[in-house]
Chains A and B, each alone.
Chain A
Amino acid sequence: MSAPRVVLVDDHGLFRSGVRAELGRKVEVVGEADDVQPAIDLIAELLPDVVLLDVHLPGGGGQAVVQAIKTTHPQVRFLALSASDAPEDVIAVIRAGARGYVTKTISTAELADAVRRVAAGDAVFSHRLAGFVLDAFAAAPGDAKPPVDPELDQLTSREREVLRLIAQGYTYKEIARELYISVKTVESHVSSVLRKLQLSTRHQLTRWAAERRLD
């Protein structure tokens, strides 16, 4: 597979040039944008494989970019990057359709790997996002109400297992070895969690995000 074509969207020029310099040899950075509208125009024009998208942009959240592009160019994939760990921001951009989320402190090798994985259609969860998701799908004590759609509203025990290991900093390869499954199976578990995260109307998810709203 040739190097994925990437567009960087981040309002910090310093961060963009840093990422471009680091990723330069591993992926092909074809464009940069610093705000919602320029990003939408640029992505529609360049049609990259992956958009590295900052969750926080001055002209609205990163999810605005995802939503705008998803309707017109569903083949473009998004990997959310954020310096903040505010769960509601992350969940919002994932639910808008991003294929993954990593923190800005990620190492270059891991970031390049995450970009390749997203370009291939897989999902990428940082250890922190895995923690968020486990938290969001946890059965709240005293919550007697049955889930509306068990298929979408609950995680299987295997999926929880995989998320726990991601949260502990395991790589996909290490998870595969730990659980005696193939890397491909790990990837499909994560993709399935991502799908649930995006499609579930589970009320806890909304409530969970709302409870962790920043004051």
Chain B
Amino acid sequence: MAAGVAAWRGFSVTTVRIVFVLIALVSGGWFVPVYVAGWLFIPAAGEQASIGSKARSDARGIRLAIGLTSLLILVLLAVSALNGGWFVGWAWPQVFSMAGLVLIWRNAPQDEQATLRRLLEPIETAADSSSRGKWSALRLVLAGALLVGGVGWLFSAHKSLALLRPLGGVVLVIAAIVLVLGPWWLRIARDLVLERQAKVRAEERVDIAARVHDSVLQTLALIQRRADDPQKVIQLARLQERELRSWLFEGRDPNETEADLTLTGGVRQIQQDVEARYGVPVEAVTVGDCELDDNLNALLAAAREATVNAAKWSGADVISLFAEVEPGEVSLVVRDRGKGFDPEAVPADRKGLAESVYGRMTRRGGTATVTTAPGEGTKVMLKMARNMTASRA
């Protein structure tokens, strides 16, 4: 209702609420039932009927309200007979507020009901002993006994003025409150944990969705556009496959650089680079693994050159790359089933094979053997002894 007044008069909602609370204090509590009545009988913005008009047909709600009102009146009469003081003066108007709230609760639209229910939840759970079985009932009885005992103790303490007794009474009252409200607090805590878990899951899903979008969907779009170029499609599919695989099965981010590369990593990089640059699939198999030193870096450089040569000149539709790490040496084979060439007929100014492959290997004490003939494909076998001091034991 405060929002309604605020909209009507042009004040901010908070101001209106503060004013309402002040009025409630000054009026000795009588403004509260007035507010409830307003809630009941003024239709909410954008709605035709007020809650009150709906409540008129709710015979059960009216009976409940009347029953509650008479019960509260009885209780208040009893309390005022015991000289309740200011409390009773404040409590009388609230009898009518309660009746109004009961009617609102039963007839309000969904969202307002939810608000009320959240406010009433602790009382509801406490009162809902029938469906929760013996334990809940026991809890209530125990809480009641503690409460009565505690309050009794507090009152008796006033008379005897003993110092420790009121403390005991307070402890008992607190225990009673904990017993009644404890389960509710626990549930809130549990809900919080569940909520956090759900959030983590949602974040994970968003992360995966982003990954799939960045890589898979982009590649699929590219593939659709390049559908007339089978070579390009295969290349894209393989690139995507490798990226996804390394992310799914090896937990590696495809974009992260490998700081200390091992032989397997080096071979994989040659494979990726050649496939990306020349569009020829490279089948790489590595057996064993070891860390890299200068000699093995030279071996990898020679292998890269041989693979690039195969991709550029052989015309083969696939290149095999095989690396094996043995205790004493590392061997690497680059092989294609392409056109091959006549080693004698290579012009002297074509330094690729001679310098980049053969020279690189022999300078470091390795060997390079090229087996080829026109129409027979090419096989480059590279061997490098392992520097045992630098290698992993």
Contacts and interface: CB of A to CB of B under 8 A. Distances in A.
Contacts of B356: none
Q: At the interface, is chain A mostly helix, strand, loop or mixed? A: loop
Given A84-B245, A167-B322, A135 B287 contact: yes
Nearest to B319: A169
Interface in A102-138: 127-128, 130-131, 134-135, 138
A168 interface: yes
B251 A131 contact: no
Interface string A176-211: 000000000000000000000000000000000000
B245 A85 contact: yes
Contact of B333 (A139, A168, A214): A168
Contacts of A139: 327
A84 B249 CA distance: 9
A215 B251 contact: yes
A141 B289 CA distance: 12
Nearest to B388: A141
B393 A131 contact: no
A128 B324 CA distance: 13
Contacts of B249: 84-86, 214
A164 B393 contact: no
Interface string B156-192: 0000000000000000000000000000000000000
Contact of B283 (A84, A135, A169): A169
Interface string B312-351: 0000001010101011000001010100000000000000
B285 interface: yes
Contact of B287 (A85, A86, A167): A167
A85 B241 CA distance: 12
Interface in B104-163: none
B286 interface: yes
B288 interface: yes
A168 B322 CA distance: 6
B335 A131 contact: no
Given A139-B327, A142-B393, A215-B251, A127 B320 contact: yes
A131 B318 contact: no
Contact of B324 (A142, A164, A170, A215): A164
Interface string B233-251: 0000000000001000111
Nearest to B320: A169
B327 A134 contact: no
A66 B322 CA distance: 31
15 contacts: A84-B249, A85-B245, A131-B286, A131-B287, A131-B322, A138-B326, A139-B327, A142-B393, A164-B333, A167-B287, A168-B322, A169-B283, A169-B322, A169-B337, A215-B251
